[in-house]
């Protein structure tokens, strides 16, 4: 089960703060050399990939609810749990402790990072709201369906814009805001943090779980998103 050995928030923040020799040792422990380790931006990109796949599932769930379809409850609760643990519990903490702090130290991008932090807090609250709505949820319950649908819409709308700003504005400036050695050490610390938080195979297990949900919803095949020829005319 993914996240079975997850660290506490306090332990994770301490782990995410590791750098230098400790981070290099971690990469060796996890079978990655300094040269082979993924860069910080690559790690953030794949984590945003997890986020976007979770958003697509939530939006599909919302569409099903609008059609008053009772979807398997484990899909709703499971997707929300992936968001709660992977995005809110891991990804957001990594960004705040290791990325935004780089710009804080350089006294740059304070307006953007301020909004991004506010949105992290909002995402945490929305995720908790979704979790609270999951037990006993039925699409036939009009009031609960409206609340769930509105919460999903708020979360997805905000987080798509949030991730897009990070990908196109903040992250491209990261390497230019750090010395090469500092960026290399940051990348090593990211490898250590991800493996330590998720477990050795935690990332792959997270993707496998999302893939299962996509297949149940009928969106597991990427080609299902391609418009048919008659729809393009």
- For the chain, give the DSSP string: -TTTTPPPHHHHHHHHT--HHHHHHHHHHTT--TTTSPPHHHHHHHHHHHHHHHHHHHHHHHHHHHTT----HHHHHHHHHHIIIIIIIIIHHHIIIIIHHHHHHTT-SHHHHHHHHHHHHHHHHHHHHHHHH-TT--TT-HHHHHHHHHHHHHHHHHHHHHHHHIIIIIHHHHGGGS-HHHHHHHHHHHHHHHHHHH-TTHHHHHHHHHHHHHHHHT--SGGGGSPPGGG--
Evaluate whether residue 223 is within a structural domain.
Answer: no
pLDDT for 205 equals 94
- For the record, the structure tokens of 208 come out as 């496998």
Evaluate whether residue 31 is within a structural domain.
Answer: no
Rounded-to-integer distance, Cα 95 and Cα 99, Å = 5
Evaluate whether residue 5 is within a structural domain.
Answer: no
Domain count, the chain: 1
Evaluate whether residue 76 is within a structural domain.
Answer: yes
Evaluate whether residue 189 is within a structural domain.
Answer: yes
CATH number of the domain enclosing 62: 1.20.120
pLDDT for 16 equals 36
Rounded-to-integer distance, Cα 34 and Cα 58, Å = 37
pLDDT for 232 equals 87
Domain residues for the domain of 121 are: 39-217
pTM score above 0.85:
no
Evaluate whether residue 33 is within a structural domain.
Answer: no
pLDDT for 153 equals 97
Evaluate whether residue 50 is within a structural domain.
Answer: yes
User: Pick from 202, 156, 157, 199: which is nearest to 57 by CA?
Assistant: 156
Evaluate whether residue 138 is within a structural domain.
Answer: yes
Q: What is the mean pLDDT of each run of 10 residues along the chain (233 residues)?
A: 39 37 40 61 95 96 83 89 96 96 95 98 98 88 91 98 97 92 94 89 93 94 90 82
Rounded-to-integer distance, Cα 204 and Cα 220, Å = 16
């Amino acid at each position: 089960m993914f996240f079975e050995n997850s660290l506490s928030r306090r332990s994770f923040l301490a782990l995410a703060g590791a750098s230098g020799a400790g981070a290099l040792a971690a990469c060796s422990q996890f079978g990655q050399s300094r040269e082979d380790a993924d860069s910080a931006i690559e790690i953030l990109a794949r984590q945003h990939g997890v986020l976007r796949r979770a958003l697509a599932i939530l939006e599909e769930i919302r569409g099903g609810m609008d059609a008053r379809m009772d979807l398997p409850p484990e899909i709703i609760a499971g997707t929300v749990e992936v968001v709660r643990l992977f995005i809110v519990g891991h990804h957001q903490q990594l960004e705040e402790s290791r990325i935004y702090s780089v710009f804080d130290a350089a006294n740059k991008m304070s307006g953007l990072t301020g909004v991004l932090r506010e949105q992290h807090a909002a995402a945490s609250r929305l995720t908790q709201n979704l979790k609270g709505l999951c037990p006993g949820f039925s699409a036939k319950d009009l009031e609960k369906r409206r609340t769930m649908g509105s919460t999903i819409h708020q979360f997805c709308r905000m987080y798509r814009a949030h991730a897009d700003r990070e990908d196109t504005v903040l992250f491209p400036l990261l390497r230019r805001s750090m010395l090469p050695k500092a960026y290399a050490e940051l990348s090593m610390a990211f490898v250590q943090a991800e493996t330590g938080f998720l477990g050795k195979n935690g990332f792959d297990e997270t993707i496998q779980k999302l893939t299962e949900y996509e297949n149940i919803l009928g969106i597991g095949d990427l080609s299902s998103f391609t418009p048919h020829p008659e729809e393009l005319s």
